[in-house]
């Protein structure tokens, strides 16, 4: 089916919205075939002109030369046929072409020189500055190794005045920084880049290009933090762009020369396949050489036998050569390409450059790059010094071990037990009670991770020792421990009688020293009943335990009763649970048991948070972190730090939260807890986002996404993708943000989540709108509106319809835009009246969009009516500034409709409501001046223009 020229031009606009790459190239090539087949010569010219840019910034640079030559020839045959913008576009394209020529050794050097001469002739004929010509003559001289000529051209380039054909204010500093860096003038290179880094200028190639050019200058001048940030920020942008293989090579080199071989191997694994499809031979040469340098460093560190995955390419199968083998292969490839360049150039410069890179030495021993590479305090055993143990008998050492266990000071308990057993061996003491106590301690210390059969055997052994020694209290306690173990392993019929027997024994002897033992017996019985699912008498037993604890007046015992009670108090009922947790904390404080205080404060913090007491929750969490002993397990440390960090972030103190959360990630990794590590990464990503550290947020969010995917939790992974998309937007990486939304939308469709899907589709449409990808935005808004209708969300339906209409208008589909505008009118009219302010806001937005569409479709009278309604609706919504802005639009539309006298009072009212100096204020004043002139009041208009000129 043959398409009309209008249809093809619409498709050309849509192709221009696509990202650079194979997809856009294929679309343009298909359009060119249709245009040529239909005899649309001017359209074919415009397509070829767009292809030059697409090929220049995509992975197929070699294809650029043909459409450029054809466009240049067509233009030269009849320049008058084309507007001035075409000549300007061709002159701009000369820069892409002459630069690309040097990247292909098969293009003779004479052709490069001829192209530069032609470029200079055309620039002179058009009265343009030679600034751009000098820039690219410098690049050509640098490429062939003519250092003196390159330096001379550099001086001319810098001295020449800039004009509209100079490289943009962001890219020229990149070129200058590369020259200065190559000359060892690192401080000057950094200084020349400052305006770009401050965000004063930018383009599609920035900031990634200039950040890449500063990697080694930063590292060589000791600016480690800047080097780290430059690598991470630039690489995030470059990694999904195969056309930037040359810049990726610089990042591989940077990793190799800053002690980041592991990071370099990650980059190599991700991009080695791209070497087979390199956009130019020059980028292939530089990537191969940089990779060979990296692998040399890997070999020198003792890992030359490490296997590297190399993907298949055409007839070559996938392989896994060693680092040393791949190093030799890539070095040979780089030198072979360099030889081809040198043969073309008549110099040895490129071979010398490659050999220097292959032999390059580090510029820093190690420059940390990870956003989660935090410091962790070593987990050390907290045991008293040797002199504390001196002179203690075996019985006293066992006393110390038992007390330490009650306080959860396991390292001290283990050391006391070891010394007690050693002391017994030294003295030859053969007391069955002491032996039984040691056996119980071994069993208790082994129980969490030990073989339950072995633990059971040890408890039974201890029972025998206590019987032999005539210590019935300890025999009953050991039987109680045995009973609890049996209940926990499904043998309640055997275990519960032992537990009840112990309680009966200690009840009979309650008083004096047996009081605490009754409490422990009751707590063991409670735990056994819970394990057996028999909870009916637990409340009564807790009451008895409370009374017994009060009688023995031991805060450690009281705290343990409160702590045990928490297991039977739901977090969903914080009114009951908070006092219990607070009692445990207070008791443990009195007992001077810091580890127990820390753990109890952690629990108290979560309960207070559930109750809505955020300040109290943070206070308890802070005490928990402060009380963590050095011997606390890494998993516990990570959990407490994560919780504390979350609370700090939620309290608007994200910067304070970050150090602890970084440590939490590290502790979780030490513990080998993948879920905990992932949750800590997510918490850290949120903190980074709240603190405005968007690059760090993005990197850590990606780690969390990988973690949740491994754990099989796609919804949680999508939550982190959403966070990542927000970080992309904050960094201006809108294309990457769109890609994240595409991933979430695909998953949302799979799960059938219409409500969430509607939100994602609408936000994706907003992003595409910001990228001026209007046709794609319109499609997204249509899908979002349909999904919102299914989830009964009328406000989102209305928003999506009037945004779709405007996007269609910007995409050139004016008739369709008017049709959808009618749908938007219906959607807004159907909004419920329960929220008049919200409805007025949407009405105002609808009418504002309608004004743009009606003005552009030649309907000024209708546009006036819509503009008047927009003003009224913004006022009804309480948006005074937006109402004033809408008044400016109304004044402009009235003037366009030939109603200058009506426009004057509207514009004056708007000016009175707007602040001086605002862009919209100046626009309103300029429009008022034009209105006054049309009304014949030139003197007033001139006065207004003079005031505008004064600023």
pLDDT of res. 233: 87
- Dihedral sign for Cα atoms in the order 489, 492, 498, 502: positive
CA 26, 30, 32 angle in degrees (round to 5)?
120
Domain with CATH 1.25.40.10 in the chain: 832-951
Res 553 pLDDT > 70: yes
Q: For residue 544, which of 561, 528, 530 has the smallest C-alpha distance?
A: 561
Q: Which residue has tokens 């890539």? A: 330
Res 755 pLDDT > 90: no
Per residue in 460-517, pLDDT tens?
999 999 999 999 999 999 999 999 999 999 999 999 999 999 999 999 875 544 679 9
* Euclidean distance between CA atoms 162 and 425, whole angstroms: 91
Q: For residue 598, which of 578, 618, 627, 622 has the smallest C-alpha distance?
A: 627
Cβ neighbours of residue 848 under 8 Å, at least 6 residues apart? 866, 870, 886, 889
Q: For residue 473, which of 436, 528, 419 has the smallest C-alpha distance?
A: 436
313 phi/psi in degrees, rounded to 5 = -150, 115
Per residue in 622-632, pLDDT tens?
999 998 887 78
Per residue in 131-170, pLDDT tens?
999 999 999 999 999 999 999 999 999 999 999 999 988 8
Burial zone of 778 (CB within 10 Å; 0-12 exposed, 13-18 middle, 19+ buried): buried
State which H helix or E strand residue 561 sits in.
Answer: helix 555-566
Three-class DSSP category at 202:
coil
Total-model pTM: 0.74
Class of domain 832-951: mainly alpha
Res 83 pLDDT > 80: yes
Burial zone of 233 (CB within 10 Å; 0-12 exposed, 13-18 middle, 19+ buried): buried
Contacts 24+ apart (CB under 8 A), 664-669: 664/637, 664/638, 664/639, 665/372, 665/374, 665/638, 665/700, 666/372, 666/373, 666/374, 666/375, 666/376, 667/376, 667/634, 667/635, 667/637, 667/638, 667/641, 668/634, 668/635, 668/638
Cβ neighbours of residue 218 under 8 Å, at least 6 residues apart? 190, 224, 226, 227, 230
Cβ neighbours of residue 592 under 8 Å, at least 6 residues apart? none
Res 444 pLDDT > 50: yes
* Euclidean distance between CA atoms 192 and 173, whole angstroms: 6
Per residue in 808-824, pLDDT tens?
999 989 999 999 999 99
Res 301 pLDDT > 60: yes
pLDDT of res. 513: 47
pLDDT of res. 81: 92
Angle of helix 109-125 relative to helix 131-144, nearest 10 degrees, comes to: 170
Cβ neighbours of residue 67 under 8 Å, at least 6 residues apart? 48, 49, 51, 52, 55
User: In terms of DSSP H, where are the helices of 319-431?
Assistant: 323-345, 349-358, 386-389, 394-406, 410-427
C-alpha separations of 743 from 679, 712, 737, 747 in Å: 21, 16, 10, 6
The proportion of the chain whose per-residue pLDDT surpasses 70, expressed as a percent, equals: 96
Lowest mean pLDDT among 146-150, 335-339, 389-393, 694-698: 389-393
pLDDT band at 409 (very low <50, low <70, confident <90, very high): confident
Q: Where are the beta strands (DSSP E) in 466-531?
A: none
Res 57 pLDDT > 80: yes
- Dihedral sign for Cα atoms in the order 253, 258, 263, 265: positive
Tell me whether the omega of the peptide bond preceding residue 207 falls within 30 degrees of 0, making it cis. Answer: yes
| Assigned token pair, 154 | 């550099």
| Assigned token pair, 326 | 């791949």
Three-class DSSP category at 177:
helix
Per residue, the 3-state secondary structure of 14-65, as one string, reads HHHHCCCCHHHHHHHHHHHHHHHHCCCHHHHHHHHHHHHHHHHHCCCHHHHH
Per residue in 875-914, pLDDT tens?
999 999 899 999 999 999 999 999 999 999 998 888 888 7
Per residue in 351-365, pLDDT tens?
999 999 999 999 988
Cβ neighbours of residue 699 under 8 Å, at least 6 residues apart? 232, 236, 370, 371, 372
Q: For residue 216, which of 196, 187, 246, 238 has the smallest C-alpha distance?
A: 187
Cβ atoms of 71 and 90 within 8 Å: the answer is yes
Ramachandran quadrant class, 345 (left: phi over 0; alpha: psi -120 to 50; beta: rest):
alpha
pLDDT of res. 333: 98
Residue 74 CB neighbours (<10 A): 20
Res 777 pLDDT > 60: yes
Q: What are the beta bridge partners of residue 464? A: none
pLDDT of res. 237: 85
Mean pLDDT of the chain: 91
Per residue in 633-678, pLDDT tens?
899 999 999 999 999 999 999 999 999 999 999 899 888 899 999 9
Per residue in 911-942, pLDDT tens?
888 776 567 777 778 888 888 888 888 888 88
- Please give the average per-residue pLDDT across 200-213, as a whole number: 80
Contacts 24+ apart (CB under 8 A), 930-939: 930/895, 931/891, 931/895, 931/900, 931/903, 931/904, 931/907, 932/904, 934/895, 934/900, 935/900, 935/901, 935/904
Cβ atoms of 793 and 827 within 8 Å: the answer is no
Q: Which residue has tokens 């426009």? A: 903
Cβ atoms of 638 and 377 within 8 Å: the answer is no
pLDDT of res. 10: 87
Per residue in 11-34, pLDDT tens?
998 898 888 889 999 999 999 999
pLDDT band at 734 (very low <50, low <70, confident <90, very high): confident
- Please give the average per-residue pLDDT across 684-706, as a whole number: 94
Q: Which residue has tokens 């809108």? A: 734
Cβ atoms of 518 and 510 within 8 Å: the answer is yes
pLDDT of res. 422: 85
Cβ atoms of 765 and 781 within 8 Å: the answer is yes
Res 378 pLDDT > 90: no
Specify the higher pLDDT residue, 617 or 695.
Answer: 617
* Euclidean distance between CA atoms 89 and 71, whole angstroms: 10
Res 200 pLDDT > 80: no
pLDDT band at 523 (very low <50, low <70, confident <90, very high): very high
State which H helix or E strand residue 931 sits in.
Answer: helix 919-934
| Assigned token pair, 265 | 């191997």
* Euclidean distance between CA atoms 439 and 646, whole angstroms: 43
Lowest mean pLDDT among 55-64, 403-412, 586-595, 805-814: 403-412
Three-class DSSP category at 458:
helix
Res 723 pLDDT > 60: yes
Q: For residue 807, which of 797, 821, 793 has the smallest C-alpha distance?
A: 821
The DSSP code for 275 is G
User: In terms of DSSP H, where are the helices of 593-733?
Assistant: 594-611, 614-627, 634-650, 654-671, 674-690, 694-710, 714-730
Three-class DSSP category at 390:
coil
pLDDT of res. 512: 46
Per residue in 816-863, pLDDT tens?
999 999 999 999 999 998 899 999 999 999 999 999 999 999 999 999
């Amino acid at each position: 089916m043959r398409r009309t020229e209008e249809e093809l031009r619409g498709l050309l606009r849509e192709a221009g919205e696509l990202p650079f790459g194979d997809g856009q190239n294929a679309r343009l090539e298909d359009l060119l075939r249709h245009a040529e087949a239909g005899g649309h010569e001017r359209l074919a010219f415009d397509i070829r002109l767009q292809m030059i840019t697409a090929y220049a910034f995509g992975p197929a640079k070699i294809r650029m030369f043909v459409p450029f030559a054809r466009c240049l020839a067509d233009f030269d045959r009849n320049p008058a046929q084309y507007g001035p913008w075409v000549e300007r576009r061709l002159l701009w394209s000369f820069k892409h072409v002459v630069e690309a020529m040097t990247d292909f050794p098969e293009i003779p050097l004479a052709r490069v020189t001829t192209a530069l001469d032609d470029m200079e002739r055309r620039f002179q004929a058009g009265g343009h500055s030679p600034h751009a010509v000098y820039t690219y003559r410098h690049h050509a001289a640098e490429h062939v190794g003519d250092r003196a000529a390159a330096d001379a051209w550099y001086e001319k380039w810098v001295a020449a005045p800039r004009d509209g054909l100079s490289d943009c204010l962001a890219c020229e500093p990149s070129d200058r920084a590369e020259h200065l860096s190559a000359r060892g003038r690192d401080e000057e290179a950094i200084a020349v880049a400052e305006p770009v880094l401050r965000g004063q200028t930018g383009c599609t190639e920035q900031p990634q290009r200039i950040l890449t050019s500063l990697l080694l200058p930063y590292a060589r001048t000791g600016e480690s933090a800047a080097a780290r940030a430059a690598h991470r920020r630039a690489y995030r942008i470059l990694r999904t762009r195969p056309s930037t293989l040359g810049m990726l090579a610089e990042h591989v080199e940077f990793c190799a020369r800053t002690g980041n071989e592991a990071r370099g191997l990650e980059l190599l694994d991700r991009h080695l396949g791209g070497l087979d499809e390199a956009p130019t031979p020059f980028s292939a040469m530089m990537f191969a050489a940089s990779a060979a340098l990296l692998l040399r460093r890997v070999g020198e560190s003792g890992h030359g036998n490490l296997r590297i995955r190399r993907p298949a390419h055409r007839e070559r199968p996938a392989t896994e050569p060693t680092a040393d083998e791949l190093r030799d292969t890539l070095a040979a490839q780089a030198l072979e390409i360099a030889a081809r360049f040198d043969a073309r150039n008549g110099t040895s410069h490129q071979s010398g450059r490659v050999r220097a890179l292959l032999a390059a030495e580090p510029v820093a021993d190690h420059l940390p790059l990870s956003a989660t590479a935090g410091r962790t305090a070593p987990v050390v055993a907290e045991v008293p010094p040797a002199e504390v143990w001196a002179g203690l008998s075996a019985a006293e050492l066992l006393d110390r071990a038992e007390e330490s266990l009650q306080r959860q000071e396991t390292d001290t308990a283990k050391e006391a037990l070891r010394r007690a057993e050693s002391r017994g061996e030294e003295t030859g003491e053969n007391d069955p009670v002491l032996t039984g106590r040691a056996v119980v301690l071994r069993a208790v210390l082994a129980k969490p991770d030990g073989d339950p059969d072995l633990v059971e055997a040890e408890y039974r052994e201890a029972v025998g020792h206590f019987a032999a020694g005539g210590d019935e209290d300890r025999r009953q306690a050991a039987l109680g421990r045995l009973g609890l173990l049996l209940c926990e392993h499904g043998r309640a019929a055997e275990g519960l009688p032992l537990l009840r027997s112990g309680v009966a024994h200690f009840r009979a002897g309650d008083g004096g020293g047996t009081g605490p033992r009754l409490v422990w017996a009751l707590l063991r019985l409670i735990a056994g009943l819970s394990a057996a699912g028999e909870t009916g008498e637990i409340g009564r037993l807790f009451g008895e335990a409370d009374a017994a604890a009060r009688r023995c007046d031991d805060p450690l015992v009281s705290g343990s009763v409160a702590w045990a009670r928490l297991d039977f108090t739901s977090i969903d009922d914080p009114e009951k649970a908070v006092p219990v947790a607070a009692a445990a904390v207070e008791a443990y404080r009195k007992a001077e048991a810091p580890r127990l205080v820390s753990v109890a404060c952690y629990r108290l913090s979560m309960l207070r948070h559930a109750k809505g007491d955020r300040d109290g929750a943070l206070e308890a969490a802070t005490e928990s972190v402060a009380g963590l002993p050095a011997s606390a397990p890494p998993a516990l440390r990570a959990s407490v730090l994560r919780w504390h960090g979350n609370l700090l972030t939620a309290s608007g103190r994200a910067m304070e939260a970050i150090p602890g959360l970084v440590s939490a990630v590290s502790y979780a990794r030490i513990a080998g807890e993948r879920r905990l590590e992932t949750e800590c990464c997510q918490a850290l990503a949120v903190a980074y986002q709240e603190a405005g550290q968007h690059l760090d947020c993005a990197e850590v969010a990606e780690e969390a996404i990988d973690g949740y995917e491994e754990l099989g939790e796609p919804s949680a992974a999508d939550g982190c993708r959403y966070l990542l998309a927000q970080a992309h937007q904050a960094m201006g990486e809108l294309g990457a943000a769109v890609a994240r939304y595409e991933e979430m939308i695909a998953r949302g469709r799979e799960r059938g989540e219409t409500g969430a899907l509607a939100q994602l589709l609408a936000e994706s449409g907003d992003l595409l709108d910001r990228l001026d990808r209007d046709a794609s935005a319109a499609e997204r808004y249509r899908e979002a509106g349909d999904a919102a209708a299914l989830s009964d969300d009328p406000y989102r339906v209305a928003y999506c319809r009037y945004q779709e209409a405007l996007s269609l208008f910007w995409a050139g589909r004016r008739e369709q835009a008017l049709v959808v505008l009618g749908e938007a009118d219906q959607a807004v009219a159907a909004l419920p009246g329960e929220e008049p302010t919200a409805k007025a806001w949407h009405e105002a937005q609808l009418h504002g969009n309608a004004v743009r569409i009606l003005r552009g479709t030649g309907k000024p009278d209708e546009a006036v009516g819509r503009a008047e309604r927009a003003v009224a609706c913004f006022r009804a919504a309480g948006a005074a500034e937006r109402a004033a802005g809408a008044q400016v639009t109304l004044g402009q539309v009235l003037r366009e409709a030939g109603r200058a006298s009506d426009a004057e009072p509207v514009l004056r009212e708007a000016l009175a409501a707007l602040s001086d100096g605002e862009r919209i204020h100046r626009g309103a004043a300029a429009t008022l001046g034009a209105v006054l002139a049309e009304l014949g009041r030139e003197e007033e208009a001139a006065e207004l223009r003079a005031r505008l000129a004064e600023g």
